[in-house]
Structure 1
Amino acid sequence: MELAQYLRVLLKKWWVIALAVGITVTSAVVFSEVRAPIYRSSAVLQVVPARFDYGLGLSTEQFLRQFARQIHTTTMAQQVIDELQLDISTDRLLADVTVAPIPEDYLIQIDADRP
């Protein structure tokens, strides 16, 4: 086909293109209005051992799990609420926050999601 034939087909079927664009735009607007926005904040804490050896690596995994449990407590949540002057309960804050140790990299990942 030549370029002129393509243009002729497009001009004949312009309403199909306009309809497809209209449906796409309408769907995108409806989806973005209906879906509740989710806000996420992330932090990564790095734990650096004083010395590196195999035995320390095993105990570091235990320490990381313990640190993660200490971060995800009502006491720590209350400290965050007080310092940031948040209008939220400790239970709600703890429900929105996840704390995960990453032992192989000596890291603790903290994520806070809020719809």
Structure 2
Amino acid sequence: MSLSTFIRVLIRNWWLIVLATALTVGSTAVFVLLQKPVYQASTIVELKPSVVLEDPNQILNTINALTRRNVINTIARKATSMSMHEEVAREMGVPVEAVLSARVQTITPPETNLIEVRAQSTDPAFAAAVANIVAQQMLGQDYEKVISMEVIDPAMPPTSPIAPQPVRLLTLGLIFGLILGVAFALMEHALSILRSGIDILDDKPLILQQPALSSVEATAPAQHKTSSEK
């Protein structure tokens, strides 16, 4: 299909493109309106050698362990364990399912000794409370007194949700609607060509019958002439 033909197909079936786009964007808008906003709160915990260490070798070993990040990753993994969820639930006086619904996550930024604790909820205050209590529970764990932790950025109730994202979803809906409309336009063009081919095949027997009729008409006068000569 040439570019000019493609453009003519789109112009001829513009209503299909508009209809598909309107339906897609409209359904996306309804979906966004029906979704509850989800908020995410985060707190940051710093890991460092304990101040009670006096032996330089112990301090050096602790720094090396933090540099290898195996200690940081272990602590971060324990922060999302089921036992941690149960401790947080007891501290807050809520069911464990409520804490599990907060989707607690831990992020360990590279080249740092930091652990970011994230929690999500439709209630911004609840999300902040879960993140802060998880961080406090991390501080209360015993790491053989060689590592100390400190909350350097406590979680605050967020003011803006992370989901849904109306602009992003509506943009995707618009793009998908345009693609769907173009696909419908091309499909309609293909069906019209197919219908034209079927109509030609249906008319072909009539065309083939016309010479036969002409030969019959031509034979009739000849027979009449022969009979008159006799």
Does the CA contact (< 8 Å) of 1:64 and 1:103 recur in 2? Answer: no
Q: Following the alignment from structure 2 to structure 1, what is the Cα–Cα distance between the partners of residues 110 and 60? A: 14
Judged with a 3 Å threshold, the aligned counterparts in structure 2 of structure 1 residues 79 and 97 are, in CA distance, closer, same or farther, namely: same
Letter in 2 for 1:104: E
* TM-score (ref. length: structure 2): 0.31
Q: Does 1:106 align with 2:113?
A: yes
Which residue number in structure 2 is paired with residue 43 of structure 1? 43
Q: Does 1:89 align with 2:81?
A: no
What's the CA shift for 1:66? Answer: 0.4
Letter in 1 for 2:64: G
Q: Secondary structure at the match of 1:66?
A: helix
Structure holding more strand per residue: 1
Q: Does 1:67 align with 2:69?
A: no
Letter in 2 for 1:39: Y
Which residue number in structure 2 is paired with residue 34 of structure 1? 34
What's the CA shift for 1:35? Answer: 2.9
What's the CA shift for 1:95? Answer: 6.5
Q: Following the alignment from structure 1 to structure 2, what is the Cα–Cα distance between the partners of residues 77 and 87? A: 10
Letter in 2 for 1:35: Q
Judged with a 3 Å threshold, the aligned counterparts in structure 2 of structure 1 residues 100 and 44 are, in CA distance, closer, same or farther, namely: same
Q: Which moved more, 1:92-101 or 1:49-58?
A: 49-58
| Identical counterparts, % of pairs | 23
5+ long unaligned stretches in structure 1: 1-29
Judged with a 3 Å threshold, the aligned counterparts in structure 2 of structure 1 residues 64 and 103 are, in CA distance, closer, same or farther, namely: farther
Does the CA contact (< 8 Å) of 1:40 and 1:112 recur in 2? Answer: yes
Letter in 1 for 2:113: Y
What's the CA shift for 1:58? Answer: 3.1
What's the CA shift for 1:48? Answer: 1.1
The correspondence of residues 17-28 of structure 1 with structure 2, limited to 5 A, is: none
What is the RMSD of the two structures over their aligned residues, measured on CA atoms? 3.0
What's the CA shift for 1:42? Answer: 0.8
What's the CA shift for 1:108? Answer: 0.5
What's the CA shift for 1:94? Answer: 6.8
How far does the alpha carbon of each residue in 1:52-103 deviate from its partner, in whole angstroms, 9 at most, with x for none? 68734533x110000011111111100000110123427x617611112224
Q: Following the alignment from structure 1 to structure 2, what is the Cα–Cα distance between the partners of residues 31 and 76? A: 35
5+ long unaligned stretches in structure 2: 1-29, 51-58, 123-230
Q: Secondary structure at the match of 2:72?
A: helix
Does the CA contact (< 8 Å) of 2:44 and 2:114 recur in 1? Answer: yes
Q: Does 1:79 align with 2:87?
A: yes
Letter in 2 for 1:114: S
